[in-house]
Amino acid sequence: SRRHTDRDQLLKHALSEPERRFATVEARFGFGGLFMSLPARWVSHPARLADAEYRPLQMATAARCGFTIPPSVITNRPDDARDFARSSSGVVYKATMHKLVSEDEQVKLVYTTPVKADAIGDRVAATLHLFQTNVPKSHDVRLVATGSGHVHGVAIRTDDPSGRQDFRVAYDSLTYEVTDVPGDVASACRVYLDALGLELGVFDFAVTADGAWWFLECGPGSQWAWLEDETGAPIAGSVADTLLGVAV
């Protein structure tokens, strides 16, 4: 809209970079504080959402709740990263939070990427990195669990090797199918939501040929609507039940 264009031009040309950062933080905490002060039912509360985004917390909570977690290391020590890569038959690098990189007015995605020990350089020392054993999955499952007790699993399959590594690489090759969720997985999802005070969790699993479900992550606000469009799974209705306080 014209209003948004005018605002963006103001931020870009009328304010210095430090001033833009200040204005952005002021808006975030001003509007965010306003919303958080409302006596509303949240799915989920913003403070709980923020806490649940921390990948190490996700992994530790998932392990306590009974999920199977791939062997992992979070480190900024290049030698530790290389040792971990050598000790496994296959390792991937994953971003712990920000999966987008904006540079030269281009936005790039950070995908799950296989790495070998000799490719891990000393630049690892610049910040923490997550390296994880590469699960030889047959397909992915994105599972939506709600505080009202609903659990919906959608199997995501592809014949594209790069898409099987990270389905975001090859959306055009993906097929979707509602899938049964093992009882122990569904139970662990509910325990996980309770542990982190969430009313909604969007879980990603790698499923191997032997039927094992490996926990990858749980996005407290990740996308799910396209799964309903593709499969007809009544996810939106389940979220609405949670907003209304209707239990299963």
Q: What does the pLDDT profile of the chain (248 residues) look like in tens digits?
A: 556 566 666 666 778 888 888 988 999 999 989 988 999 899 999 999 999 999 999 999 999 999 999 999 999 999 999 999 999 889 999 998 866 666 767 777 888 999 999 999 999 999 999 999 999 999 999 999 999 899 999 999 999 999 999 999 999 999 999 999 999 999 999 999 999 999 999 999 999 999 999 999 999 989 999 999 999 999 999 999 999 988 77
The angle formed by the CA atoms of residues 159, 137 and 140, to the nearest 5 degrees, is 75
Helix (H) or strand (E) holding 73: strand 72-75
Count CB-CB contacts under 10 A for residue 95.
16
- Site of tokens 């490719």: 119
Contact 98, 55 (CB under 8 A): no
- Model confidence pLDDT, tens digit, residues 144-178: 999 989 999 999 999 999 999 999 999 999 999 99
**Separation of alpha carbons 110 and 124, rounded Å:** 15
**Separation of alpha carbons 127 and 54, rounded Å:** 15
**Separation of alpha carbons 154 and 148, rounded Å:** 19
Query: pLDDT at position 132, please?
Result: 96
Contact 247, 149 (CB under 8 A): yes
Query: pLDDT at position 107, please?
Result: 74
- Site of tokens 């039927």: 211
According to DSSP, the residues that pair with 214 across neighbouring strands are 68, 206
Contact 153, 181 (CB under 8 A): yes
Retrieve residue 173's tokens: 């090759």
Helix (H) or strand (E) holding 221: none
Contact 100, 110 (CB under 8 A): yes
Query: pLDDT at position 137, please?
Result: 95
Predicted TM-score (pTM) of the model is 0.88
